[in-house]
Amino acid sequence: MASKEPKPRAIRLPAKVGRKSQRAAASTAKQTKVSAKPTTKLDSVISALRAPKGATLAQLMALTGWQMHSVRGVMSGALKKKRGLAIVSSKTGDERVYRIESRR
**CATH for 65:** 1.10.10
pLDDT in tens, 2-60: 667 777 777 766 666 555 655 665 555 555 555 566 689 999 999 999 999 999 999 99
Range of the domain at 66: 41-101
The answer to whether residue 79 is domain-embedded is yes
Number of domains in the chain: 1
- Concatenate the DSSP letters of all residues of 22-90 into one string: HHHHHHHHHHHH--SPPPPHHHHHHHHHTSTT-EEHHHHHHHH---HHHHHHIIIIIIIIIT--EEEEE
- Determine, yes or no, domain membership for 85: yes
Q: Looking at the whole model, is its pTM more than 0.75?
A: no
Instruction: Look up residue 3 and give its DSSP letter.
Output: P
